[in-house]
Structure 1
Amino acid sequence: MGFGGISMPQLLIVLMILVVLFGTRRLGSIGEDLGGAVKGFRKAMKEEGEDKEKLDSKAQ
């Protein structure tokens, strides 16, 4: 059994369909954009946590 009840052959078929529809360049750029978005989100969450810690330390 694979990811969420989807087997490996089914995942490969879906991947092949995506490559045919979008092409490898477009999928690469989508992956790059998604990775950048996740990186930015993590950075924002880290900065927010640091700001919250500073406020907590000043309050005490």
Structure 2
Amino acid sequence: MGAFSIWHWVVVLAIVLLLFGPGRLGNLGRDLGKSIKEFKGAMNDKDITPDKIDSQSTQASATVNQSEKSKV
């Protein structure tokens, strides 16, 4: 009796379908798959290297410093 039986899962699934509806659950699954795909693509992106990140942050800080000087 420690584990849920199949009937428990059927009841839970029926309640979830009643609350959210099949269309909304389909959209949720599609959006989740899309975000996982984008995350994997970002993890495999070869354009961003530590050298480029350092140079971008240096350029950004230089821009901020120049804008602060122009305000004074």
TM-score (ref. length: structure 2): 0.51
RMSD between superposed Cα atoms in Å: 2.4
Change (3 A) 1:44 1:20: same
Which among 27, 30, 36 is matched to residue 29 of structure 1?
27
Unaligned runs of 5+ in 1: 56-60
Alignment of 1:1-60 (within 5 A): 8-47=6-45, 50-51=46-47
Give the letter aligned to residue 27 of structure 2. Answer: S
Identity %: 40
Shift of 1:8: 4.3
In the TM superposition, structure 1's runs of 4+ consecutive aligned residues that sit over 6 Å from their partners are none
Distance 2:28 2:17 in 1: 12
Taking structure 1 as the reference length, what is the TM-score of the superposition? 0.59
Q: Mark the structure with the bigger radius of gyration.
A: 2
- Which one-letter code corresponds to 2:25 in the other structure? L
Matched residues, number:
48
